[in-house]
Structure 1
Amino acid sequence: MAGLVMVTRGGGCGNGKNSSKAAAAEMQNQQQLSLVDFILAALRKSMVSCRVDRQEDVVSTVEIGWPTNVQHLTHVTFDRFHGFLGLPLEFQVEIPCRVPSASVSVFGVSAESMQCSYDTRGNSVPTILLLMQERLYSQNGLKAEGIFRINPENSQEEHVRDQLNRGIVPEDIDVHCLAGLIKAWFRELPSGVLDGLSPEQVLQCNTEEEFVELVKQLKPTETALLNWAIDLMADVVEQEESNKMNARNIAMVFAPNMTQMSDPDAVHSGDGPVVYVICG
C-alpha cells in the first residue's frame, strides 16, 4: 500500500515550545519599551514642572517658562558703602549687613580689624571713616565756620557713637559733631598714626621733602590713614573763605589726634603730646 508522507521541520510537539519562547521574548521587549516610555515620560514631566514636598506635605508646582519669557521686576545696583540698593525684600534677608568692625565699637580698635574700602584717591581706610566723610561733604560741612575747631555737644556725640558702632551715620547730624568724631577716631586708636616716627626724626626734618621721605617709613596702614587725613584737611582749606580754616589752623587742631607720643623733653614734666604741623 503506497502513500505520501509529509515531513516538516519544527513541527509536532516542538512547535509549542518555540511559540512560548517567542511570546516570552516579545513580552520582554514590550516590558522594556514600557520601561523606556515611563522613563521618558518622567523626564519630560520633570522638565515641565518641579514638585517640592514641604513639611506640611503640601505639594506645590512651579512652572518653568521659556528663557525668552522674562519680566523686569526691579533694578538693583551695588554701592560700595551701602551694598545692594533696590534689592527686593525677599532677598534682603539672605544678605547680612556688613559689620563695620570686628569688635563692638569702631572707636579704639586698630584699622586692621575693621572693614576697609578704597576712597576716590586710592587709600584703603576703614569704611566708617568714608561714611562719615561722605555725610560731612553732603551736608556742606566743609563750609561750616570753624569746622574741626568747634567742639560739639557731648549729649549728641554719645548717641552718634552708638549709631556709628552699628555702621549707621544718623541723618541730619550736626557737622561739628561729625568732625569731632572723625578726630576722636584717630585720637582713640591703640597707637597713633605717626607713632612709628620718633620725635627726634621729626625734629630733624626742616623741609617738606625731608618730611615726605620720613613718612615713607610708616607701615602701609598708617600711610593710607595719613594720606586720607591730609586729603581731608586739604579739602577743608579749599573752603577757607567760608570756614575760616587755613592750612595752619586745620593742622593745629588735627595734628594732636595723630600721635600719642610725648615730647622727650616734656615726659617728666607731664606736658602734652608732640604736635606735628606740616603746612604746605
Structure 2
Amino acid sequence: MNWLSGSQGVVLTAYHPSSKDGALVGNKAKQGEEASPTSRRSGQYTMNPESSKNVAEKPPFDRSSSQDSLDDLSFEDYWTELENIKKSRENRHEEQEVVVVKEPDEGELEEEWLKDAGLSNLFGDCAGDSQESMVFLSTLTRTQAAAVQKRFETVSQTMRKKNKQYQIPDVRDIFAQQRESTEKNQNSSKFLNQTVWNGWSHQDMKEKKVPYGSELDSDRTNENKYKEKHDLASDLGISEKNSPCLPEDVPASETDINLEISFAEQAANQKETSKEKFRENKDEYNSLPNFRLPKDKTGNTRIGDLAPQDMKKVCCLALIELTALYDVFGIELKHQKAVKMKTKDSGLFGVPLSVLLEQDQKRVPGMRIPLIFQKLISRIEDGGLETEGLLRIPGAAIRIKNLCQELEAKFYEGTFNWESVKQHDAASLLKLFIRELPQPLLSLEYLKAFQAVQNLPSKKQQLQALNLLIILLPETNRDTLKALLEFLQRVIDNREKNKMTVRNVAMVMAPNLFMYPGLSIKPNEQGEFVMAAGTASVMHFLIKYQQLLWTIPKFLVTQVRKQNTENHKKDKKDKAMKKLLKKMAYDREKYEKQDKNLSDADVPQGVIRVQAPHLSKVSMAIQLTEELKASDVLARFLSQESGVVQTLKKGEIFLYEIGGNIGERCLEDDTYMKDLYQLNPNAEWVIKSKPL
C-alpha cells in the first residue's frame, strides 16, 4: 500500500515490523544522512530513495513556522496522539475494565438486528401478532425490503437448524393476507406490463431506469431482476406505489444532498447506470465538497424536532436504510454487544454517560450533557482558542493524573480550583474523559459501522451513512458528540493563530473517539495505516458536515407519516368491529362531527387556527397564502406581546405541527404553511417552547 504525504512527495512504500521500538519520526535527523527514519511505533518505513534525499536535506521542522507544514505532517499528529494515549495509560497505573464483546452465534446478529429494527414479532413467540409489522413493512423501499428479507431468512434457517419447539413461519406465510389483498386488486399477467412504482413501467425497468435495490448480480437479466424484486415486494407485503422513483429529468447538483429519495435507492440506481463513473478518488485529503440541503417547502426536520414515538420509528427505519445502503456495496454491517462489563456507578472518569447525567440532573434538572464535559470545554475556551497547538500539545502526565484524582474528590463539592488548571491540561483531560468512557462516544454497537463508512465509494454516500449513524446513536451520546463537534469547530475557526486546521484536529481527535478501555493498541500491522486514514477521514466528515448530519432525511419522515396514516386506518377499522364500543364510537363520531361543523363555520376554507396557550393572544385564525412561512405566523403572535416579553420569547418558542399523520413536529422558520397544510390537512397548529 502506498501512502503519499504532502511533504515533498514522500512515499511510504512498505512497513517492516520490528520487535524493537524505533526512534520517533519527528526527531532531528543527522545532516546529510539518508537512512530511512524509523517509526515511533514498532517497525520501520521504507521510503522512496529519491524523495528521502529531499527529506534529509530539510531543516528541522518547526511546528509554528507555517500552516502548510502542519498539514504536511497531519499523520504525524495521529501517531503522536497514539503515543500520548499509551503513555497516559501507563502513567495512570489503573486497571482498565476490559470490554467483553460476545461472539454471536449463527443467526444471532440477524435476530438482534430485526429486534433493533422493530420487527421482533416476525419470529418467536410473538410471530402471530404481525399487524403492526405489516404496516411497517408496507412503507419500505425495495432496497430496505431486500435488507429485511435477507436477515429474516437467515434467522429462519438458523432457528430451523436449532429445532426450535415453535414453528418458524415463512415470510410468505406471515404476509399472506397482504399478498392476497394485493392479488385481488391486480391481474398478475397484466400487472407486469402496466405502470408500477409511481409511473415506472416494465419497459422502463428493462431499460434500467429504475433501481434494483441491493441486487448486484450482473449475470441475471433485467427482466429477471424485476420479477424477483416484484416477488420480494409482494412476499413482504410491500406496496409498489410506496416505493420512491428516481426521475431522470431532474439532474441534481454535485453538491446537493437529496433527502427525498432513499439513499440506498439512489446508490442502487447509480450503480446500475453509471458503473464506469461511480468510484471517486479516495484521497481524503482532497478538499471536501460543500454539500448543501436543497430547500424543502414543507421544512427540513432536525433531530429533536419529532415526538419520541415518531423518533423511535425513524431510528428503526434508519437502521434498515443504513443496512440496505451497505448491502448495495457488499459492506458487512455487524453490531457489537458488550455482554459483560463492570462499570463505576459514580465519579467522573470511566463512568457511563447515563450515570453521569443521572448524577448531574439531580443538581441541574434537564441537563443533557455531562457537567464535567461542559466545564472542561469552558476552561479551554477561557484560556483563549488562539493558543498554538491547542488539543495537539499534551499536558504533563503527572499533573493530569493528579488533576483527575482532585476532580473526582472535589468537583461535585464545588471546591475544585479551576484557575490552577492549565489550558493544555484541560484539553488533555477532555480527551481523557472521552477516551475512558466505558463504551465509545460513537457507541460500541455502531463503532465498526462508523469505521466502515470509508469503504463507501463516494463522499456523498459516506455523508449519507454518517447521517443515518448519527440518528442511530443513543440520545446522550448524540447530544455529547454534538457539543464536542461544535467546540472543535470553534477551535478550527481560529486556525490562523492556533495552527489547527480541520485536518490536524481530525488527526488528533480520531484516536480518542475510536478507542475505548479494553481496546489494545496493536503496532506492526499494516491495517493500522488504514485505520488511521479511515478514522481521521470520518472525524473530518463529522466536523465539517455537522450542520447537515443532524437533519432527518425527508424520506424517513414520509415513511413515518405513511405508517401513522395506516395505523390510524386500522385503529378505526378495529374499533368499528367491536360491538361493545359501537355506541361509544357512534356518540364520539357524532360529537366530533358537530365539533367539526362548528370548527368549519369558525375557520373558513384556506384558513388555519393556530393556538398559543402561553402567549397573550391564545388563538388566531390565519389565512394561508403561497408565501406564508412559519416565521410569519410566529411574528404575528409576538407582535401582540409587550417589548420585553417579545424579546424574551423570540427564539424560545416555535410553531408545531401536531396530529394528523405525525405525532408532533417542530417547524423550522422557512416552512411554507400552505404546502405543509396540504401534506397534513388534519394537523393542529400550536405555538410553544421546546421541551427540555
Bin the TM-score by the shorter chain: 0.5 to 0.7
Q: Does 1:158 align with 2:401?
A: yes
**Residue 222 of structure 1: how far off its partner (Å):** 1.2
TM-score (norm 2): 0.23
Label 1:145 to 1:128 Cα distance change in 2 as closer, same or farther (>3 A). same
Q: Does 1:231 align with 2:490?
A: no
Structure holding more helix per residue: 2
Equivalence for 2:513: 258
AA paired with 1:154? A
Q: 2:391 aligns with which of 148, 155, 166?
A: 148
**Residue 271 of structure 1: how far off its partner (Å):** 6.1
- Percent identity over paired residues: 25
AA paired with 2:394? N
Query: Hey, what's the Cα distance between the residues in 2 that align with 1:151 and 1:239?
Result: 19
Larger Cα Rg: Structure 1 or Structure 2?
Answer: 1
AA paired with 1:278? H
**Residue 267 of structure 1: how far off its partner (Å):** 11
Q: Runs of at least 4 residues of structure 1 off by over 6 A?
A: none
**Residue 163 of structure 1: how far off its partner (Å):** 2.3
Query: Hey, what's the Cα distance between the residues in 2 that align with 1:169 and 1:131?
Result: 12
Query: Hey, what's the Cα distance between the residues in 1 that align with 2:526 and 2:432?
Result: 22
Secondary structure class of the residue paired with 1:190:
coil
Once the two structures are superposed, residues 103-149 of structure 1 have per-residue CA deviations (whole angstroms, 9 ceiling, x without a partner) of 2x3111101111347xxxx9821101111111211221x21111110
**Residue 202 of structure 1: how far off its partner (Å):** 2.1
Equivalence for 1:172: 420
Equivalence for 1:129: 373
**Residue 171 of structure 1: how far off its partner (Å):** 1.2
**Residue 249 of structure 1: how far off its partner (Å):** 0.8
Residue segments in structure 2 that go unaligned for 5+ positions in a row: 1-343, 545-692
Query: Hey, what's the Cα distance between the residues in 1 that align with 2:398 and 2:452?
Result: 40
Query: Hey, what's the Cα distance between the residues in 2 that align with 1:150 and 1:108?
Result: 23
Once the two structures are superposed, residues 189-232 of structure 1 have per-residue CA deviations (whole angstroms, 9 ceiling, x without a partner) of 11111233224642344333432222211111111121111111
Once the two structures are superposed, residues 48-72 of structure 1 have per-residue CA deviations (whole angstroms, 9 ceiling, x without a partner) of xxxxxxxxxxxxxxxxxxxxxxxxx
Label 1:268 to 1:147 Cα distance change in 2 as closer, same or farther (>3 A). closer
Residue segments in structure 1 that go unaligned for 5+ positions in a row: 1-100
Query: Hey, what's the Cα distance between the residues in 1 that align with 2:367 and 2:469?
Result: 19
Label 1:172 to 1:268 Cα distance change in 2 as closer, same or farther (>3 A). closer
Query: Hey, what's the Cα distance between the residues in 1 that align with 2:353 and 2:427?
Result: 19
Name the stretch that deviates more: 225-234 or 205-214.
205-214
Is residue 491–residue 500 contact of structure 2 (8 Å, CA) maintained in 1?
A: yes
Query: Hey, what's the Cα distance between the residues in 1 that align with 2:499 and 2:367?
Result: 27
Query: Hey, what's the Cα distance between the residues in 1 that align with 2:429 and 2:466?
Result: 27
Q: 2:454 aligns with which of 203, 208, 212?
A: 203
Query: Hey, what's the Cα distance between the residues in 1 that align with 2:419 and 2:511?
Result: 29
Is residue 453–residue 465 contact of structure 2 (8 Å, CA) maintained in 1?
A: no
AA paired with 1:255? A
Label 1:176 to 1:226 Cα distance change in 2 as closer, same or farther (>3 A). same
Query: Hey, what's the Cα distance between the residues in 2 that align with 1:268 and 1:154?
Result: 26
**Residue 160 of structure 1: how far off its partner (Å):** 1.4
Equivalent pairs counted in the alignment come to 172
TM-score (norm 1): 0.54
Q: 1:220 aligns with which of 447, 463, 475?
A: 475
Is residue 237–residue 245 contact of structure 1 (8 Å, CA) maintained in 2?
A: yes
AA paired with 1:259? F
C-alpha RMSD of the superposition: 3.0
AA paired with 1:193? L
Query: Hey, what's the Cα distance between the residues in 2 that align with 1:182 and 1:111?
Result: 14
Secondary structure class of the residue paired with 1:125:
coil
**Residue 170 of structure 1: how far off its partner (Å):** 2.7
Q: 1:106 aligns with which of 338, 348, 354?
A: 348
Q: Does 1:278 align with 2:529?
A: no
Once the two structures are superposed, residues 226-263 of structure 1 have per-residue CA deviations (whole angstroms, 9 ceiling, x without a partner) of 11111111010011111100111111111211123799
Once the two structures are superposed, residues 152-173 of structure 1 have per-residue CA deviations (whole angstroms, 9 ceiling, x without a partner) of 1112112211222121353132
Query: Hey, what's the Cα distance between the residues in 2 that align with 1:112 and 1:125?
Result: 10
AA paired with 1:196? E
Query: Hey, what's the Cα distance between the residues in 1 that align with 2:394 and 2:438?
Result: 23
Once the two structures are superposed, residues 166-195 of structure 1 have per-residue CA deviations (whole angstroms, 9 ceiling, x without a partner) of 213531321111101100001011111123
